[in-house]
Structure 1
């Protein structure tokens, strides 16, 4: 029963997402032929135009661009949070059709790991105990494949690893980042959101340069529950942007 680590892949995205968003925005305000519109979009400074449109609050055009992620090494605890974001499409590894007789992967929370080797050993032993319970119920239920899996899985922990393929449009991604990159978000989904952001920013910098917790570009929306780290959050974002600009 191996421990698992988070891994995020951006497996697909809309071709030229910034150009498509710019085209949608220009179409709303321009006359002329479609051919001339496409030509104008191709020749203009898309990044500046897209940022101007977003600054006006014309966010619906962001929905034309989509991004698909493949994520592994995440827990069922994270999955419950992720699927609350309903403007998205999800495909999740089934605990009914996938058997864990050879052992399930699981996530070790950093706070438990920080307690030291004895704590991690105790946690690992508990995971092993749950594996035995799972196998025991499979036996009692007749080892009937998915028919026994569907009930034996009830003893599996929230720490159990899962794999998810999901797609979000750019507007929903910005909303997701605003909630899940905040320091008040749960640690696991915050780490995933950070990796997602690092994957999409190079693809469409105009769409995501100011994406993230609300304090990136304004006051902290958490009020009295603020983490108090606004200067640090902004400094880290500026360092990230500077590093990417230096590599361009």
Structure 2
């Protein structure tokens, strides 16, 4: 899996702080942007995050290039609808000898891996043969969820908070959790204060909302913070 932050709002933390300050200042946004020093930016951001006042986060966006992931992952990713997506088209791109993702649980069992790879080879062969008979857009119905895909996605920071809250959780499906953790690492490099507390509620609040399905991490985090 390759994840790269290819674009983002310049000086994202300064912009969020200025947008928040604008609500309570007679000065315009451009003057606020120019005048605020780092100390004031950090103070405002900490206040915003402590109050859960997230609407100013919608002013900053982050764009990622993602490769080496499955259609299983992309089907989950687009459920986060407050984002923009562009994905490799199986209608127009020839998928002869398509690459595919192997789940770790399958890779760890030789018998399962052999059967899995056998199925993929059979699908590759069938796709190639049927594509000679029907349009590619119909041959693609044979392609599996494991088929590798590439996409570009853009989130605003508030949407990323929601994404990290759900998908960095230990109970998230393994592939999208790996993606979420990689994305979080990258945005923390350009907006470290904003994303310092982004993640599952066991990390950010010391509580878990998974009920009986909880992994049990929340009490451990809470005890560590209280000690």
- Flag the 1:232–1:95 CA change in 2: closer, same or farther, 3 A: farther
Query: How do 1:79-228 and structure 2 match up within 5 A?
Result: 79-101=74-96, 103-115=97-109, 117-141=110-134, 148-218=135-205, 219-228=207-216
Residue 206 of structure 1: SS of its match in structure 2? Answer: coil
Kept after mapping to 1: 8 A contact 2:201/2:208? yes
Over the residues paired in the alignment, what is the CA RMSD in angstroms? 1.9
1:119 Cα offset (Å):
2.5
CA contact (8 A) 1:67 1:167 kept: yes
> In the TM superposition, what is the alpha-carbon distance from 1:75 to its structure 2 partner?
0.5
User: How has the CA–CA distance of structure 1 residues 159 and 34 changed in structure 2, closer, same or farther, with 3 Å as cutoff?
Assistant: closer
TM-superposed deviation, 1:33: 5.1
Tell me the TM-score normalized by structure 2. Answer: 0.92
Q: CA deviation at 1:122?
A: 1.9
Normalising by structure 1, we get a TM-score of 0.85
1:136-176 deviations in Å (ceiling 9; x for gaps):
211122xxxxxx11000001110000001000000000100
Structure 2 counterpart of 1:238: none
Cα displacement (A) at 1:36: 4.4
In the TM superposition, residue 125 of structure 1 has moved relative to its aligned partner by 1.3
Alignment partner, residue 51 of structure 1: 46
Cα gap change, 1:138 to 1:17, in 2 (>3 Å): same
TM-superposed CA distance for 1:37, in Å, is 2.4
8 Å Cα contact 2:5-2:62 kept in structure 1: yes
Measure, in 2, the Cα distance between the counterparts of 1:120 and 1:40.
60
The 2-side partners of 1:105 and 1:12 are apart by 27
Indicate conservation of the 8 Å contact 1:48/1:206, yes or no.
no
1:14 maps onto 2:14 in alignment: no
Task: Decide whether the 8 Å contact of 1:201 with 1:209 is kept in 2.
Answer: yes
1:155/1:189 CA distance change after superposition, 3 Å: same
Cα separation, 2, equivalents of 1:216 and 1:170: 18
Gaps of 5+ in 2: none
How far does the alpha carbon of each residue in 1:198-234 deviate from its partner, in whole angstroms, 9 at most, with x for none?
A: 1111110111111011111221121221011236678
SS at match of 2:183: helix
Partner Cα separation in structure 1 for residue 216 and residue 38 of structure 2: 43
CA distance in structure 1 between the aligned counterparts of 2:113 and 2:33, rounded to whole angstroms: 58
Q: Is the 8 A contact 2:202 2:217 kept in 1?
A: no
- Structure 1 gaps of 5+ residues are 1-5, 142-147, 236-248
